[in-house]
Structure 1
Amino acid sequence: MRPKGCMYIFFGVFAAAGLLCGIVSASLVYSRWNVTHNGIETMGTVVDLQYSKSSVAPVVSYMDENGRKRLYESTSYTSTNPPEIGDEITLYYLPENPDKIALEGEGWFNLFPLIFFFPHGGVGFGGIYRLEKKRRLYNWLQQFGKEIQAKQTEVKRGSNKGRSYYTLKCEWLDPYTQQLYNFESDTLSTDPSDSLPVGSPVRVLIDPDNPKRYWVDLSFLDT
């Protein structure tokens, strides 16, 4: 069947979330790159620690190029090799914006949004790609497909999160090549067995040159 609009919305939400995480991560990476490549390198001293459960983030004191003492409160918390008061840390700052800081060794925090980018983006963009591929095939078959009559062989029942779904299977014997083809419908929310018992004819559109490209027409069913 044709891809439903609700599925585009479903996968679109995942794609948007993944894209947002990717943009955030790219922005953070670029910002750090700009500071480390165009900024001034200096040494800072850990003067205080901020705690979040078992993780620690340093508060660093440093002098800018004008001899002014500044404080930088890191938002990168870690429980692995946590800093201690008195530690010296290499840092970079922009001369035109001394409060724009990049601490050495904390760049990996900027990649954290990618943890969400790949799974969300993969589900979202992958789903949209499959829907678009199915939509294009459906439109092509509507114009150039060959109509055949297959026979219903089975209705397969499955479930997901407590909800049942059904898939109709049918077969067709090519009268010219004597090759048997098996087709499978898109998932249905209701059991089509009453309307299409085993052996019933089922309209299928196929690519005349490649019957493995097909669409099982169950549009008459109220699904």
Structure 2
Amino acid sequence: MNRTIVVRVFPMIFAVVGAGLLLLGGLLVRDSYLFTSSATKVNGTVVEIESRYDSDDDLVYRPVVEYPEPAGGSSRFTEPMWSGLKRYRVGERVEVAYSADGEARIVSFFSLYGAGLIFAAIGAVFAAVGGGMEWRRRRRQAQIRRLLQRGTRVMATVVELTRDQRISVNDVHPYILQVEAEDADTGARRRFTSDRFWELPKHLPQPGDEVKVVFDPDDPEVHWVDLTAIGIHPG
């Protein structure tokens, strides 16, 4: 797939996935709260600690709990979440919440809300990363529109094509075009840098060629090298 498309779509995918995980985490937390609000609570006993190795070859644990039923006898359940910490020991007394349909959980913050909060935390990170990237993209587009309305236009000479080593996708760095223009007031040469682009166009300007630049006269660091003529568009 074209890397330009990947870079543009990637923030939205991250934001949507993040929002979905946040919603899922919130629903899990809500369901746990509603469950404990209506469930019957009794004292149970940890009768076994199950263990296994996870995908990273780390040993993880979860307890098997037995609790008494009102009509006599007892029931057992196994905590659904595995943990790298051995949080319980055999024979330990724990509070159990159970419902009429047979669902039962240990009454502890991690057992009740751990899964929901983990999903929500991951979702928040995804949403923040994706949303932040999309916000920067939109801010840059708005900045370019303002430059086109009020900025100073000059013709600049292409100096060199380089790669921006600060960012990469699949170990590939984007291109940037360095150009220079003469300052009309001082006669000094001022350098401008294009926005990043991922694919080389067929008719890329060569050193010595001229391209259009628009900059903020009050802050020339805010500028845009116009490469739309060769198919490179902002954002």
The offset of 1:55, in angstroms, is: 2.1
Q: Give the aligned partner of residue 202 of structure 1.
A: 211
1:119 is displaced (CA, Å) by 4.3
For structure 2, list consecutive stretches of 5 or more residues without a partner in the other structure.
54-58
| 1:129 lines up with 2:129 in the alignment | no
Residue 31 (str. 1) matches residue 25 (str. 2)? no
Q: Which moved more, 1:157-166 or 1:108-117?
A: 157-166
SS of equivalent to 2:128: helix
Partner of 2:178: 169
Render the CA deviation track for 1:26-73: whole Å, top value 9, x for unaligned.
333333344556655432122344444332222323346777854433
Tell me if the contact between 2:62 and 2:86 (Cα under 8 Å) persists in the aligned partners: no
Where structure 1 has 5 or more consecutive residues not aligned to the other structure, the ranges are none
Contact 1:32 1:102 (8 Å CA) reproduced: no
Amino acid at match of 1:136: A
What amino acid sits opposite 1:190 in the alignment? L
Aligned residue number for residue 22 of structure 2: 22
Which position in structure 2 is the counterpart of 1:190?
A: 200
**Within 2, Cα distance between the matches of 1:181 and 1:117?**
44
Secondary structure, aligned partner of 2:103 = strand
Residue aligning to 1:215: 224
Q: How many residues align?
A: 218
Q: Which moved more, 1:18-27 or 1:110-119?
A: 110-119
Name the counterpart of 1:146: 152
SS at match of 2:228: coil
Sequence identity (%): 22
Moved more, 109-118 or 63-72: 63-72
- Partner Cα distance (1:39, 1:178) in 2: 80
> How far did residue 14 of structure 1 move?
1.3
1:177-209 residue CA offsets vs partner (Å, 9 max, x unmatched): 6675432112232278x7433333220122344
Partner of 2:119: 113
Please report the RMSD computed on the Cα atoms of aligned residues, expressed in angstroms. Answer: 3.4
Structure 1 residues 52-61 or 129-138, which shifts more? 52-61
Q: 1:61 aligns with which of 42, 45, 66?
A: 66
TM-score (norm 1): 0.75
1:76 equivalent in alignment to 2:61: no
Correspondence for 1:87 among 80, 92, 100: 92
Contact 1:166 1:191 in 2 (8 A): no
Q: Secondary structure at the match of 1:130?
A: helix
CA-CA distance at 1:132 after TM superposition = 0.9
Alpha-carbon distance between aligned partners in 1 of 2:171 and 2:61, rounded to the nearest angstrom = 43
When normalised by structure 2's length, the TM-score is 0.72
Secondary structure at the aligned position of 1:138 is classed as helix
